[in-house]
Amino acid sequence: MAEEAIRVEHVAKAYRLGPQGPRYRTLRDTLAEATSQTLHTLLGRHNGRVRQATGRDTVWALHDVSFTVAQGEVVGIIGRNGAGKSTLLKLLAHITAPSRGRVGVRGRVGALLEVGTGFHPELTGRDNIFLAGAVLGMRRAEIARQFEQIVAFAEVERFIDTPVKHYSSGMYMRLAFAVAAHLEPEILLVDEVLAVGDAEFQKRCLGKMQDVGGEGRTVLFVSHNMPAILRLCPRVILLDGGRLVADGPAAAVTATYLRANQRLGAERCWPDLATAPGNHIARLRAVRVLDAAGACTASVDIQQPFAIELEYWNLKAGEPLIANIHLYDAQGTYLFASHDNLEPTWGCRPRPAGLYRSLCTIPGNFLNSGRITVHAAVGRWNPHAIHAWVHDAVAFDVIDTGGVRGEYPGPWAGAIRPYLEWGTRLAAPLDSVPATAAVSEVRR
Amino acid sequence: MRATNMATEAPPLAVDAAASSAAAWQWNTPPRAWVPLELGALWRYRELLYFLAWRDIKVRYQQTVLGIAWAVIQPVFMAVIFSLFLGRLAGLPSDGLPYPLFVYSGLVVWQLFALALSETTSSVVANASLVTKVYFPRLVIPLAAVSVGVVDALIASGVLVALLVYYRLPLSPPLVVAPLFLLLAALSALAVGIWLAALNVQYRDVRYTTPFLTQLWLFATPVVYPSSLVPEAWRPLLGLNPMAGVVEGFRWAVVGRGALSFELLATSVATTAVLLLGGLFYFRRLEQSFADTV
């Protein structure tokens, strides 16, 4: 067992929320606080601490978090937005102090919490390499030694003496990451650096991260990118609401995360017939997103089939109802519509009055990852009519666990990501191709 | 804060990892009322200090037509106006010196103080993106900010030499210590500036009061008038203004005439020292929450 490089002991972190938002304190607050503190001190009730954060204005970003990391371990940190991941990294990087507990690190720490830290737009690429390097904790000699490599990695040779404010955002990003990537700390903290840049750049960042992990450095990596986490980190820590809820092998913890990621929005119910959306012919009672086991879920595994369920009342006997759903991605692209018109029992047939339940199964390896919004409707064809229609009825996240992407690490372009069958065969070995044709092919 | 082996050239990582097993634990603990100054950490971060100062100086006159000439234009114009209104029209005494020389020598060192003060006051907030993303001793920020004032003052001193030649004043031996007074002015600005920089993080009111404060302060300092104009009984109080001794001292060193009031100088230096020490502790205490409040 390697020696410990990081110790987090019962750490809690509170942020104050002021009346004008979370940031500034007013002079009046402080004066009032000082007065009450003085009173407490005079009355002997002072608790001896510097201004304990308490009361209703306080938000706890972390609650009693403890764990240790051994030297050379690569650990992923996952959790929803606001789970406390970034706060944890800031505590490890010594940028901010904990409210309770303590955080210990052993060795030189490098924190990449943002691409472009220390960059100044007015300075040239060359100047910025030295400036940002110094800000990240590199020594001048170290930067000078790696200067050529940094420039080559960023591919900005021609613009190295141009102020970076004239760079394209891609060039800026590449240069900024190149500087950070050449930092050689013993403990590396990385926060979502891969969330920016184009696919090619993200791929290179991941490659560089993998190299770093292989060099025996201790790495803590915060990301929403599950495939990246699974590739890079043997061990994963899951935070939720500021608490450490799971710590263990990557596959197990990411599975826990997917299960736990159920939130409001995956189910909508209108139990009261009188107020449910619809008209005198049909009204919607419920819309749900269900996983393969039939449980309501707000996040579905990209590789697993799932279903969308519609519950609705038919109020007019003999009405040939058609239930339908319409799926939109986060960019608002209309992905597809699906109707139960071909359903074997009731599709396009007159139905007796009553409560109906229609289930549409959507296969795994079909949607792309991201947030999907569902519009739900009940209507009829010939003549066409819409009886009930709910815009943005439910929403869910398609969680990227790999699947179709295989070994490809970058974002997967396109509105959907279907698993399609390919057949590739060697049509003719090279030696049977006329020699001249083969040569011209090679030379092109 | 960083590992102690940082002081040496970083060796290849495989070796480093083995070496660092002996490295000490560095603890990040809840905010304390009294934090040791750890000036040694500042020394380890001297390269960052250099780069931040270099950045501030380099960026200051970027994309201006007159560029570095601004460092001269400002004190020269102020000196012309003061000479006209206070020297000629109001007939303020100037210890027997030509008034333009008198007031310009004061303004050079005063401008250093005023500029360095305004730069340090806004420095931590101006570098918020660094404060919230990287760790380094925060004192590096105001320290680097002072440099802008020093560079401008050195450039403005060129005109001072020209004035000495114009008025046919000989270069005197005390001139050697003139840089010391510039340094003292920078320290005074730092002493006041670190208080204000730390305060400015929490209360942005500071940003609005500083220009106003600096203007008032100018008239509380013997820049446009000699300290001999102040009634004898009040003169010890004048020394409580750290800049009083500095301005008088600088003028004495440059012009090389009259005697320096050591009493005044000593009081000013002592005031600066007390302010600086208090400011350092105050800054270190508030620095613990900079990243959360900035």
ipTM: 0.82
Query: What's at B166, amino acid-wise?
Result: Y
Distance CA A279, CA B177 (A): 93
The residue with tokens 């924190």 is A111
Q: For residue B291, list chain A residues with Cβ-Cβ distance below 8 A.
A: 90, 95-96
Distance CA B122, CA B149 (A): 14
Task: Evaluate whether residue A437 is within a structural domain.
Answer: no
**Alpha carbon of B216: minimum distance to chain A alpha carbons (Å):** 23
Instruction: Show which of residues 398-417 on chain A sit within 8 Å of chain B, judged by CB atoms.
Output: none
CB contact under 8 A, B16 and A186: yes
Phi, psi of A216 (to 5 degrees): 85, 15
Task: Evaluate whether residue A56 is within a structural domain.
Answer: no
Q: For residue B23, list chain A residues with Cβ-Cβ distance below 8 A.
A: 106-107
Task: Evaluate whether residue A114 is within a structural domain.
Answer: yes
Residue that is last in its domain, among A217, A232, A260: A260
Eight-state DSSP code of residue A296: B
Q: Are A316 and A357 in contact (CB under 8 A)?
A: no
Same domain, A155 and A285: no
The residue with tokens 């003061």 is B82
**Alpha carbon of A249: minimum distance to chain B alpha carbons (Å):** 24
The per-residue pLDDT for B7 is 36
Residue that is last in its domain, among A260, A275, A291: A260
Residue that is last in its domain, among A235, A260, A285: A260
Same domain, A18 and A80: yes
Instruction: Show which of residues 164-203 on chain B sit within 8 Å of chain A, judged by CB atoms.
Output: 202-203
Low-confidence ranges of chain B (pLDDT < 50): 1-21
CATH (domain of A341): 2.70.50.60
Task: Evaluate whether residue A357 is within a structural domain.
Answer: yes
- What is the side-by-side strand order in the sheet with A4-16? A58-70, A4-16, A100-105, B26-28
Task: Evaluate whether residue A294 is within a structural domain.
Answer: yes
Task: Evaluate whether residue A416 is within a structural domain.
Answer: no
Per-residue tokens: B205 = 């009111």
Same domain, A225 and A319: no
Distance CA A280, CA A274 (A): 10
Task: Give residue A214's Cα distance to chain centre.
Answer: 24
Cross-strand bridge partners of residue A103: A8, B28
A122: contact with B, CB 8 A cutoff: yes
Same domain, A298 and A198: no
Per-residue tokens: A247 = 């710590």
**Alpha carbon of B3: minimum distance to chain A alpha carbons (Å):** 5
The residue with tokens 């446009």 is B224
Same domain, A207 and A314: no
Same domain, A236 and A353: no
Same domain, A127 and A12: yes
Same domain, A239 and A188: yes
Q: Which of A97, A122, A141 sits opposite B59 (nearest CB)?
A: A122
Distance CA A387, CA A282 (A): 6
Question: Which residue in A has a C-alpha nearest to residue B290's C-alpha?
Answer: A96
Task: Evaluate whether residue A413 is within a structural domain.
Answer: no
Task: Evaluate whether residue A57 is within a structural domain.
Answer: no
CB contact under 8 A, B132 and A111: no
Half-sphere exposure of B61 (CA within 13 A, CB side): 13
Same domain, A250 and A293: no
Closest by Cα among B118, B102, B116 to B222: B102
Low-confidence ranges of chain A (pLDDT < 50): 19-23, 44-54, 262, 264, 442-444
Q: What is the mean pLDDT of chain B?
A: 87
The per-residue pLDDT for A303 is 92
CB contact under 8 A, A95 and B133: yes
Per-residue tokens: B112 = 């250093």
Which site among B28, B45, B47, B51 would you substitute to test the A interface, given the most A Cβ atoms closer than 10 Å to its Cβ?
B28
Number of domains making up chain A:
2
Distance CA B261, CA B227 (A): 10
The per-residue pLDDT for B88 is 87
The per-residue pLDDT for A56 is 56
CB contact under 8 A, B134 and A95: yes
Instruction: Show which of residues 14-33 on chain A sit within 8 Å of chain B, judged by CB atoms.
Output: 15-16, 23-25, 27, 30
In A25-146, where do the E strands start and end?
58-70, 74-78, 100-105, 109-112
CB contact under 8 A, A103 and B28: yes
Q: Are A135 and B49 in contact (CB under 8 A)?
A: no
Question: Which residue in B has a C-alpha nearest to residue A128's C-alpha?
Answer: B55
Q: For residue A7, list chain B residues with Cβ-Cβ distance below 8 A.
A: 25
Same domain, A158 and A237: yes
Q: Which of A25, A30, A106 sits opposite B20 (nearest CB)?
A: A106
Same domain, A223 and A294: no
The per-residue pLDDT for B5 is 37
A279: contact with B, CB 8 A cutoff: no
CATH (domain of A114): 3.40.50.300
Parent domain of A334: 267-403
Q: Are A174 and A203 in contact (CB under 8 A)?
A: no
Q: Are B148 and B190 in contact (CB under 8 A)?
A: no
Same domain, A181 and A292: no
Q: Are A10 and A68 in contact (CB under 8 A)?
A: no
The residue with tokens 């904790």 is A137
The per-residue pLDDT for A47 is 42
